Each structure stands twice: as C-alpha cells, then as structure tokens.
Amino acid sequence: MARSNDEVAALFHEYADLISITGGDAFRTRTYEKAARSIGGYHADVSTLDVKGLQEIPNVGKSIAEKVVEYFRSGKVSAVEELRAKIPAGVRRLTAIPTLGPRKASVLHEELGISSVEELADAIHEERLRDLRGFGPKTEENILHGIELLQSSGERVLLDAAMDVADDIVAELSRVTGCRRCTYAGSLRRYRETIGDVDVLAAAGKSEPVMQAFTELPYVSEIIAHGGKKTSIRTTKGLSVDLRVVPPDSWGAALQYFTGSKAHNIRTRELAVHQKLKLSEYGLFDAESGEKIVSQTEEEVYARLGLPWIPPTLREDRGEIEAGLHGELPGLIEEGDIKGDLHTHTDLTDGLAPLEEMVAAAAERGYAYYAITDHGPNLYMQRMTDERMLAQRDRVRELDGSFGGKRGKGGKGMRLLHGAELNIDPDGDVDWPEEFLAGFDLCVASVHSHFNQEREAMTRRIVRACENPYVNIIGHPTTRIIGKRPGVDADLDAIFAACARTGTALEINAHPDRLDLRDEDILRARRHGVKFAVDSDAHAVLHLANLRYGVGTAQRGWLTKDDVINTWPETRLRRFLRKGRTGRGAHG
C-alpha cells in the first residue's frame, strides 16, 4: 500500500502551492517543497516517528516535524486547513491542471471569475485570456494541453502506486488456505505507465475463502461487488481492484485472457477461430465438441495457437503476433541483466543520502558498477562548485572497489564511476568547459529549464548536446512528468538520428512519474540504431528500486540486453563512454 511518507509528501506539496497562491514567502514555499521530497524518499515510516526522530530527516525542522505528528494524531494539519479556507475552491481546482501554476490560477479566478476546468477551456476558445498580462497564444496552447492531460488521466494512477497495492494484495491472498496461485494481471502486468484499476487473479478449488480474505483487507473502503467468480473493491486511496478466482486447471488460460490488451486478445482469439478452436478465460476448446484442449499454463495456450510464449509487456498488438509466428520475438532485457545504475544523486546536490549510503545500497543490489551523477553548477540552486565536485571525485576514487557487488577479475568489488548530470542550456551548451568535463567517467545531460522553446530551437538544443564529445547520455529526454508536464516540442526523429550518429545513449528514466522515454518513442529510437541506458535517477536509497519500472518500459519498447549499455560488461561500457575519444583524463 501507499506509504505514510507519500501521504505527508503530497500534503506538503499542496501546502507549498497554497503558500504560493496566497502570495506567501517564496523561501517558505521552497522549504515545504524540500521537506516533501525528503519525507517522500525517507527510508523509515514517518508515522512511527516522534518530533525528534522526524528532525533527523534532511530539510525537516521542528515546525515541520510537529505538523507531521499533528497529521497522524488528528488526520489533518491546522495550518493547511486555514490556507485551504482562504482560497476559493475554484482556484484549487484549476491548480490540478498541468502547466498551470498556482499564481496564474489565482489571476484567472480574480480577473475573469474562472473557477472550473470547463470555464477555463471556454475562455481560451473565446480568446478572453489574451487581455491578461502574461497570457499569450503560447500560454493558451500550453494550458489547453494541460487540460487534455488532466482529462486523459482521469482516475488513473501511476504504475508504482498500483504496484504497491497489487504486491500487497497478492502477498496477503497467497497466504490464504486453499489459494494455489495468485498474481496481478491486466495493464499492470503489461507495465503500462498509468493504471485504471488493478486486476488480481487467484487459483483455488473453492473461491469463498479467498474472496472473503480479499474483502476483509484493512484498506478496503467499499465493496463494489461480491461474487463467487469476481469481487470488486475500492481502497481507501480510491483505487478499484478486481479479484477473479478460477479453478487451478484454468490458470494459464485465465492469466493469458486477463493480461492481454483488448487488441492482443482479439488477435489470439482470431488465431483460435482459424484453427476451429475457441479461446476463453477457462481454456482453449474444440469449437465443435467443446472438449478442453489446454488451459493450465500460458505456454500451453500460446503453443497450441502456433506461438511461443509472448512476454506480457509485448501484448499490445504492435506486431508481437506476427513476430511470434515467424520466430522473430526479441529476447527482452530483464532486471537481472542490469549491471549498474548510471544516473543517481547524493546529498551533495538535491539527493537525500550521503555518497557512502547510496554506494552501499547499490552494492546490496549486486551491481558490478555504479555511477554518481550530481548536478552541475548551471542549476544554481544546487550550489555546485568545481571544488565540491573534485572533492567528491577524490572520495569516489577512495571508495572504488571497496563495496560488494558482482565481483570481477581479481575479486574487486563494485566499480564506481564519477559523473555529473549536466544542464542543457537553451543554446545547447552544458556546464563546464571541455577540459573539466574530460575528468569525468561519464556525463548525463538533461533539459531542466526553458521547456517551452519553439520546436526547431528545442531540437537544435538537444542535438547540439548530443554532439558534445563529453555527453554520453541524454537524461529524461522529453522532460515529461506524467499527468503534470507534457514532453517538450521537438523533432524526436532528428534527435534519435543524432544520438545514433554521435554514439550518445538515450535514457529510459525509471522514476514512475517520468518513464521517459515512453515505450512508443523507444520503438522509434531503436529503429534509428540508438543505444539506451535504463537508470533510476535516484535521489534517495529507496529510489534505486524503481529500476524495475524502467526495465518494464524498456521491454515495452522491445529492447534486448544488447540495446542497453548498462547491461554490458564494464570494459565494453567504458569503450562506449569514450565516445571515440582518445587520451581522456578520466579514471579508467
């Protein structure tokens, strides 16, 4: 289930917005934003901590700690309630629109009386915003796109939130006497980036004990339907979960049926019909006699249809049926193939944990190598200097090989790479001159500002970064934040071609609110011959585990181990990172 930390983080993010809307001090706004990020990434459950324990969390002082305690004692924070009461509900509704900040929402309400998403859309179409300072045609376009994002997301939740719920339910139901098998299915098993509702499948001779245990879970707020074959509940977080219980000998057919997208399932049923068969959640049957042919495993079902087993992440009718029939399905990358994480942060910039803690946690994951890539100085709020970065490099060299990981030749431990996440400026320049960049083992370069540049300028900006001989990876390439910020407007095919030409990898950022590149973009980039890096972009120890979502997204883009540079042995990886250069000053 969602952690208490996430609840508090969401509350403080809202409080920061409320402070901003009411014209409060910008420093105070940033204080709560920082506290929200720190609490969200903290390893311990904040609901179990007292004021003193809470103050050990970075960016959490006594006042904030007392608010956390108040929240778990009374279910609310009086300071937040007071600000909510001062702000019209209409303004708060408008702030839910991605791309529309709290200040602009307040202006729209005060100047035009707009208090709903629908009213705002009408006002834009009637061109009533253009008389307001700071609201030009480009702003209107961005707001309309934000409204589309809001409406398309509907009641959907991010992949990790749904996965937390599903993992917990599967673990609980698997303990029920008589439950032979249990797992999640549907779009969650296919690793879609957002999930409408969670599908859970169980196999049992008798369904009643499993259904009963399901309805008695502590976070059930409503039982929508309760039956022998299917029960639906809503959790206290508003997420709908459907449980289906099937006989054990129907497990494979049911798992295939309830996992595939609608389009994929239509194709498999068509294959069955052509062979005078009938496919359902109970099995594959002879269409004339009704005799069951196979049903116990997915592999049996697919094999009888003339197909190899198709990985769940490919079941979207994007050519996987044809590839299967011709023996051309890719051997997809798996999480166990990842040999290291190439984009992570420490508390030297905006991470929460010290270098030693991040390295130790990476070693526990069994990595062969691990990169530290704190922000460069052009993101001025990170307070980076040459001296601080060089001091970190010295410490990285001291720690290199001293932690576990997958031991290589000579029994050395996990190798450390010292890198940086550079900021791609509006003209395509990055932090530091080439002679300083030459000292890094790798550089990730990302767009962090000026997201609304015109298409041609944005394309040129990113292509120029690719052409920099010291840029190895383009981080979160479209900059999107799911449901909150659209991707930049750029000619992605031109960028993909530049990456292939220059030997620059594209990141698949595994953070669940990014998953950037998207699966559709990965498919296109792969056709250009691009290589990829699946990275966590971890800002806390807990974030390292997000890599599973990046791997799932890579699978949806049909990627193999050979496509992903951080599945390669260290020697091959370092050759790639040299980007054709010779005589580098990097450690190596």
The pLDDT > 90 percentage for the chain reads: 65
Average pLDDT over residues 152-161: 78
Instruction: Give the separation between CA 39 and CA 27, rounded to whole angstroms.
Output: 18
Q: What is the CATH number of the domain that holds 315?
A: 3.30.210.10
Lowest mean pLDDT among 98-112, 469-483, 569-583: 98-112
Half-sphere exposure (CA, 13 Å, Cβ side) for 202? 32
SS3 (DSSP) at 165: helix
**Higher per-residue pLDDT: 243 or 236:** 243
Query: Could you tell me the two tokens for 13?
Result: 């993010």
Residues 143 and 51 in one domain: yes
What percentage of the chain carries pLDDT values higher than 70? 94
Mean pLDDT of 366-388: 90
Q: Are residues 341 and 469 in the same domain?
A: yes
Pair (102, 134) in one structural domain: yes
381 and 482, same domain (yes or no): yes
Domain count, the chain: 4
Q: Looking at the structure, do residues 522 and 374 belong to the same domain, yes or no? A: yes
pLDDT tier for residue 410 given thresholds of 50, 70 and 90: very low
Task: Point out the domain boundary residue: 325, 354, 379.
Answer: 325
Do the beta carbons of residue 380 and residue 335 sit within 8 Å? Answer: no
Mean pLDDT, all residues of the chain = 90
The region of weakest confidence among 2-11, 35-44, 348-357 is 2-11
Out of 69-83, 414-428, 521-535, least confident range? 69-83
Q: What is the DSSP letter of 361?
A: H
In a domain, 352, yes or no: yes
For 65-68, which contacts have Cβ atoms below 8 Å and span 24 or more sequence positions? 68/8, 68/39
In a domain, 587, yes or no: no
- Which residue(s) pair with 370 in the sheet? 341, 416
Q: Are residues 136 and 181 in the same domain?
A: no
d(CA 444, CA 423): 9
143 in the same domain as 161: no
Residue 309 is part of which domain span?
251-325
488/565 same-domain check: yes
Is the confidence at residue 330, as pLDDT, over 80?
Answer: yes
The tokens for 194 are 């957002």
User: Are residues 119 and 173 both part of a single domain?
Assistant: no
Q: Which residues contact 369 (CB under 8 A, 6 or more apart)?
A: 339, 340, 405, 414, 415, 416, 417, 570, 573
| Least confident interval from 12-16, 478-482, 547-551 | 12-16
At 586 the pLDDT is: 40
Does some domain include residue 124? Answer: yes
Q: Phi, psi (5° rounding) for residue 312?
A: -55, -35
Q: What pLDDT is recorded for position 585?
A: 40
- The pLDDT score that the predictor gives to residue 191 is 97
- The mean pLDDT value for 44-63 works out to 88
Is residue 563 domain-resident?
Answer: yes
What is the per-residue burial (b if ≥16 Cβ within 10 Å, else e) of 301-314? bbebbebeebbbbb
- pLDDT for position 446: 97
Residues 357 and 345: their CA atoms lie apart, in Å, by 11
In this structure, what token pair is assigned to residue 455? Answer: 């298409």
Domain stops at, among 198, 227, 246: 246
Tell me if 421 is assigned to some domain: yes
Instruction: Give the residues across from 369 on adjacent strands.
Output: 340, 415
Which range scores top for mean pLDDT: 58-72, 100-114, 319-333? 319-333
Helix (H) or strand (E) run with residue 223 in it:
strand 220-226
Distance CA 275, CA 265 (A): 16
Confidence grade of residue 408 (pLDDT, cut at 50, 70, 90)? very low
Between CA 256 and CA 536 the distance in angstroms is 30
- CATH code of the domain in which 76 resides: 1.10.150.110
**Residue range 387-415: average pLDDT?**
83
**Higher pLDDT among residues 16 and 110, named by residue:** 16
Measure the CA–CA gap between 3 and 473, rounded to whole angstroms: 32
| Of the candidate ranges 343-352, 455-464, 559-568, the one whose mean pLDDT is the lowest | 343-352
Do 345 and 260 belong together in one domain? no
176 and 54 in a common domain: no
For residue 40, is it within any domain? Answer: yes
Q: At what angle do helices 159-174 and 547-556 cross, to 10 degrees?
A: 100
Mean pLDDT (whole number) for 538-555: 96
Q: Is position 582 within any domain?
A: no
**CA 374 – CA 497 distance, rounded (Å):** 28
Give the tens place of pLDDT for each residue, 100-147: 777 777 788 778 878 777 888 888 888 888 778 778 777 777 788 777
> Quick one: average pLDDT of 35-58?
86
Read off the pLDDT of residues 427-451 as tens digits, 9 standing for 90 and up: 999 999 999 999 999 999 999 999 9
Task: Residue 168: give its domain's CATH number.
Answer: 3.30.460.10
- The whole-angstrom separation of Cα 232 and Cα 160 is 21
Single-letter residue type at 153: S
What CATH code is carried by the domain that includes residue 473? 3.20.20.140
Contact at 8 Å (CB) between 554 and 534?
yes
Give the 3-state DSSP-derived string for 227-293, with helices as H, strands as E and coil as C: CCCEEEEEECCCCEEEEEEECHHHHHHHHHHHHCCHHHHHHHHHHHHHCCEEEECCEEEECCCCCEE
pLDDT at 24: 77
The predicted model gives 184-202 an average pLDDT of 95
Residue 514 in domain: yes
Neighbours of 491 (CB within 10 A): 16
Contact 506, 317 (CB under 8 A): no
Q: Of the spans 109-113, 173-177, 294-298, which averages the highest pLDDT? A: 173-177
Specify which residues 285 forms β-bridges with: 278, 292
pLDDT at 407: 45
Least confident of 65-74, 151-160, 514-523, 527-536: 151-160
The residue whose two tokens read 């994002």 is 149
For residues 332 and 313, the answer to whether their CB atoms sit within 8 Å is: yes
My answer on whether 92 and 136 are in the same domain is yes
Q: What was the pLDDT predicted at 152?
A: 62
Domain finish residue from 325, 346, 379: 325
- What distance in Å separates the CA atoms of residue 19 and residue 32, rounded to the nearest whole number? 9
